[in-house]
Amino acid sequence: MPPILNTKAVNFDALPEELQGIQVSKGFLLPTYMFNAMTEFLDSVDVIENDGKTPLYTWEFFDLIKKAEDGFNPGKIAELTARIPTIEDFEIDTEISRSELISHYRGYQRWLMGLKSLDEALKGDWATYFLQQTMRDLMFKKLAAKGVWKGVRTNNQADRGADKSFTGLIKHITDGCAVGGDIPTENQVLDDAIVLANAYSEINAFAQKAYDNEDLTGIEQNYYLSHQEWTLYCQARVAASNGTLAPGTMTDTPDYMPTIKFKPQIGLSQSDVQVITPRTNIKFSVNTNPEHYNFEMVKVIKGHQLNLLASGGVDYGYGKYLFVRQVD
């Protein structure tokens, strides 16, 4: 570990003013901080930039090839569908002590010592580092773990937590499966909860439904499920192998379906929902408007109070290519 530099010379009281200067002169960077963090935390989801008004366009190209004939009988080339992403503002009110600030500063020193050039160090000042890390750890990490899948936004101002401040995928998908929704009934499965006794057969059967879709032949799809369900599948697969697989053998794909990849999600823990769809059909939209971001810091007796504001949303693009399994 590199030596820790002296923190007594650091003027933490100047940090609020320095942060305000960043917002005034470099406020356009705040959406970038969110984009980078969500790309890191949501590696199995397509993270995009969106102004909240641009639809999630999806083209479906039709197979128009037919035998040659004298007559001219044109067909429609493609069909365009669009969902407007749900962009929501969310914030955090918190207080950080001086000891916590010192801990952040020591992390900044270690980060500095890992840089390879003076130019990198000059670009990464203490205030900017603190801003990025605080938003990353206090807001975006929680959002990815709890809000992106299970979030149900409430109107109660007293509610706290990413799962109560953000509309997650399960809510959007549930609406899409309802009467009048855009997820076809043939793409929906209602069945028993996954347990060790049925994990291998049930998960394979659901994966087969998506694998057999002609429009998606050869296209890689993600199978989103909980870590518990994935583990049960792998255990059941070993049991079904009659000793040909060693205990503890894990797999990233359902048997004989190489284009489908298991993507266990923390956000689906204790959930009865499973989803199969191409990765690009699940989109986290980062609001590109800097006016929807804010970072306020005010000194109090034993530390600083913080208010963090950011904006984004998650949704699926095209219901026709989204397969959903829920417990009956």
With a cut of 60, say whether residue 204 has pLDDT above it.
yes
Segment (H or E) for 287: strand 282-287
**Where residue 122 falls among pLDDT bands split at 50, 70, 90?**
low
Question: Looking at 28-32, 119-123, 287-291, which range is the least confident one?
Answer: 119-123
Q: Which domains does the chain have, with CATH numbers?
A: 169-283+319-327 (3.30.2320.10)
Instruction: Please report the pLDDT score of residue 12 as a whole number.
Output: 85
Q: Would you state the structure tokens that stand for residue 32, as one six-digit string?
A: 């970038």
Q: Are strands 303-316 and 294-300 parallel, antiparallel or unpaired?
A: antiparallel
> What's the average model confidence in pLDDT over 67-74?
60
In this predicted structure, what is the pLDDT of residue 77?
A: 45
And the tokens for 53?
């008004």
pLDDT tops 90 at residue 310: yes
pLDDT at 82: 61
**Dist. CA 42–CA 28, nearest whole Å:** 22
| Parallel, antiparallel or unpaired: strands 294-300 and 274-277 | unpaired
Lowest mean pLDDT among 53-57, 84-88, 169-173: 53-57
Q: What is the mean pLDDT of residues 75-82?
A: 52
The answer to whether 313 touches 85, Cβ cutoff 8 Å, is: yes
As a whole number of angstroms, the distance between CA 275 and CA 172 comes to 12
DSSP one-letter code for 43: T
Contacts of 273 (CB under 8 A, 6+ apart): 149, 170, 173, 324, 325, 326
Q: What tens digit of pLDDT does each residue of 238-247 get? A: 999 999 999 9
Number of neighbours of residue 207 by Cβ within 10 angstroms? 24
The residue among 32, 40, 58 whose CA lies nearest residue 215 is: 58
Average pLDDT over all residues of the chain? 87
- What is the pLDDT confidence band of residue 3, given thresholds at 50, 70 and 90? very low
Residue 115 has pLDDT above 80, yes or no: no
Distance, CA of 35 to CA of 28 (rounded, Å): 12
Whole-number pLDDT of residue 78: 47
Q: In this predicted model, what pLDDT tens digit does every residue of 274-298 receive, in sequence order?
A: 999 999 899 999 999 988 999 899 9
Whether 196 has a pLDDT exceeding 80, the answer reads yes
User: Which residue did the predictor score with more confidence, 24 or 314?
Assistant: 314
Residue 1 has pLDDT above 50, yes or no: no
Compute the distance between CA of residue 100 and CA of residue 34 in angstroms, rounded to an integer: 22
Taking alpha carbons only, the member of 186, 146, 189 closest to residue 166 is 146
In sequence order, which residues have a C-beta less than 8 Å from that of residue 186 and are 6 or more positions away? Answer: none
